[in-house]
Structure 1
Amino acid sequence: MSPGPPRAATPSRNGLPGARPGRVARCAVALLATATVLTGCDHGSARHAPGESATGPSGCPAAYDTARASVARAERADVPWNGPTTGPRAVTGKSLVYVAQTMTNPGVAGAEQGVREAARIVGWNVRVIDGGGTPAGIQAAMGQAVALRPSGIVVGGFDPGTTSQQVARAAAQHIPLVGWHAVAAPGPSRRPPLFTNVTTHVQDVARISARWIIQNAHGRAGAVIFTDDSIPFARTKSRLIAAELATCAGVHVLAYENIPIPDASTRIPREAASLLSRFGARWTHSVAINDLYFADAAPALRAAGAPGAGPPFNIGAGDGDPSAFQRINSGQYQSATVPEPLTQQGWQIVDEFNRAFSHARPSGYAAPVHVATAGDSHGATTWDPAGYRQAYRKIWRG
């Protein structure tokens, strides 16, 4: 099926929530809220078919050049360790409880594996309590964690504000909390009270995933965003993605699909089939806040005869679990991911707790973004940058 001229976007069943202030963000919101072409932002680009432009081969020459340069930098795998090299010697005899939003979330599970690996090095005990992806389950898991009176609690991938009573009890018992993707920004948090939050900078992840679409599409795309607005981190990320896509006049967001991660396996197959029916060849690219959306979309795309190598060309804006790399390396319904260095972040969580136990300040580290494709992953099934194990071991030895 050959692509036809872009038409006004059909409204998604899920409207785009408010975005950052500013003209770009307002245009992104207007696109999805009113189901119109980016009036005031796209400068009439809807009159041209994909691949054509009144200004050249790209629908947004300046944004395309910026995107191409940014993606080329992010695809480099030979980046030296730029994290902490000093800190307190490892304390002994500590215990951690890792409270998981859901262990079916590959990012949550991957970070937990890194915590276990690092904890073995320093001789700490780790226990995992799975919240099952529901508010009641997460609250019960946090309550159980506090009742165990561990040395520290990991807030694994959920908003600690939804467990405010349990968080308050932890604070009263002087149990430090370290988050993984618990709030939108890396570093310490006063409200909710986290010693620190371990994550990449969400704005960097959002920007590079959107720019990958812009450069891959040469500035001409019909994109779908998959997100889970129940997670503040994910909601922020998807809003920023929409805003960055809006910087390219030739990229149109066709739909904003708000599907909770625990529901993805049941909802995504039929949503993907519906999107194919509604948009056909106009759906050229997708971006999801988590790679698992594409694992669940693959059967519907395959059944509809969509080629595994795309279109649609799909990029995950986190978390880069092994199954995502396998889909990318085999050309099966995912082209790229912006992976979190999950094992490294697990080691960082242990180091941050060690700083808390030693009455030191948090490290303030946030890993730089990376884009993994079949061309630069070289068959790897995870993004595991070099240098951090040696650096942390040296710190902990004192």
Structure 2
Amino acid sequence: MGAAVVLAAVCLTGCARGTSAGGAVPPATGPPGCPTALAGAEAAVHRAQRTDAAWDGPTRGPRAVPGKSLVYVAQTMTNPGVAGTATGVREAAEAIGWSVRVLDGQGTPAGIQAAFGQALALRPSGVVIGGFDPRLTSQQVAKAHADHVPLVGWHALDTPGPGRDPALFTNITTRVGDVARISADWIITHSRGHAGVVLFTDASIPFARTKSELIKKELATCSGVRLLAEENIPVSDTSSRTPQEVSALLARFGDGWTYSVAINDVYFADAAPALRAARRKGAGPPFAIGAGDGDPSAFQRVNGGQFQTATVPEALTEQGWQIVDEFNRAFAGAPASGYVAPVHIATSANSASVTSWDPRGYRAAYRRIWGT
């Protein structure tokens, strides 16, 4: 569908400025700041906001291999995406008849290395690398390979699919480029091409670093959008550092700061107190979109108009089920599925009654594959 057709379809449902992007509508700012970029962004945002798409993932694969055990090594369980995916792994493991243990790396290299070492000492059938760069744990990865323990990553590499250096059976994530582009496109659409943006990122995580670079690249396609600042705050430090940084940004940019985008929704939970103290309205600027991971608290902020307007959620529970399915393929000697979930945007307009992005069909599909 062409951009003009999509725009017309959206406007038939009653669009004012920014309405097609969902959430609160900013004040009119005159003509679009970048008509060509805006048209493409509006079309992409319209597609990403759909909630009625059928399951497009795997429908074939090996039957359940019995008696397996997994250990999920988490970067930090304070990262809602990591925690949400771990919950999905537990649910799927129960469905297939396996055991799971989750070990928390506490967000530090030493903690992650210790957790991974403990995981291998448990002699599991497989280990999940949950949200951290496996190069931080090169010794543990080498030992896992020596012990013939398959590794499946979640947000462990920049790209989905099997990894070569280091070798992972597969890495599960949406495509970082898709998430980055749609987050920036939402800002372009919602602002009608006029925005002053602050980007929050964690440069210690390669996946996050790549995502933030791609967000900046897409924002730059609109001449009316300015990147005011890029704040590098480790995910493990958001609660201690974000409030002070937000206060400083408000003092520095004032009303010129109209939009925020972050590589993880958790930044907006920690930004809220400082914005509230500055007497900013929860449904007003800076309008915020999280480029991952769409945990329940993010949905609550979005649906309640509390300092977050949109999120690009990972289907965390679905991805937990995919992790288990990928291990089952590894144990059966089959290749990885190759499935990559499409991006989705959640706003108050399309998610008012839910607290997660949970697409239809995957549980039944995986159970049919496994024969459970």
Q: Who is 1:299 aligned against? A: 273
SS in 1 for 2:317: helix
TM-score (norm 1): 0.86
Where does 1:21-60 land on structure 2 (aligned, <5 Å)?
A: 51-52=29-30, 57-60=31-34
Between the aligned partners of 1:152 and 1:190, the Cα distance in structure 2 is 17
Matches of 1:110 and 1:228, distance apart in 2: 19
Q: 2:320 aligns with which of 332, 346, 350?
A: 346
Q: Secondary structure at the match of 2:343?
A: coil
Given candidates 312, 331, 356, the residue that maps to 2:330 is 356
Query: Who is 1:97 aligned against?
Result: 71
Q: Output the CA distance in 1 between the equivalents of 2:47 and 2:241.
A: 35
Report whether the alignment pairs 1:171 with 2:145: yes
Counterpart position of 2:216: 242
Kindly state the Cα deviation for residue 381 of structure 1 after the two structures are TM-superposed: 0.2
User: Aligned match of 2:263 in 275, 289, 299?
Assistant: 289
1:378, distance to aligned residue in structure 2 (A): 2.6
Aligned-pair distance for 1:148? 1.3
Match of 1:211 among 185, 194, 207: 185
Aligned residue type for 1:92: P
Distance 1:68 1:358 in 2: 44
SS at match of 2:230: strand
Alignment partner of 2:242: what SS? Answer: helix
Q: Percent identity?
A: 70
- Partners of 2:206 and 2:221 lie apart in 1 by 23
1:233 maps to which residue? 207
- For residues 165-217 of structure 1, the C-alpha deviation after alignment (integer angstroms, 9 at most, x for no partner) is 00000000000000000001000001111000000000000000000000000
SS state at 2:128 partner: strand
Is 1:379 the counterpart of 2:353 in the alignment?
yes
Q: Are 1:317 and 2:324 matched, yes or no?
A: no
Q: Determine the structure 2 residue equivalent to 1:151.
A: 125
What is aligned with 1:44?
none
Q: Is structure 2 residue 250 aligned with structure 1 residue 276?
A: yes
1:83 aligns with 2:57: yes
Query: Corresponding residue for 1:4?
Result: none
Matched, 1:70 2:81: no
The reply to whether residue 188 of structure 1 matches residue 162 of structure 2 is yes
Partner SS for 2:320: helix
Runs of 4+ in 1 over 3 A off after TM superposition: none
SS of the residue corresponding to residue 372 of structure 1 reads coil
What letter corresponds to residue 51 of structure 1 in structure 2? T
1:265 and 2:239 equivalent?
Answer: yes
Q: CA deviation at 1:276?
A: 0.5
Aligned to 1:19: none
Give the Cα separation in 2 of the matches to 1:51 and 1:330.
25
How many angstroms does 1:274 deviate by?
A: 0.5
Gaps of 5+ in 1: 1-49
Question: Aligned-residue CA RMSD in angstroms?
Answer: 1.0
Q: Which residue of structure 2 lines up, in the alignment, with residue 40 of structure 1?
A: none
Shift of 1:133: 0.1
Match of 2:94 in 1: 120
User: CA separation in 1, counterparts of 2:284 and 2:98?
Assistant: 45
Q: Identify the match of residue 389 of structure 1 among 348, 363, 367.
A: 363
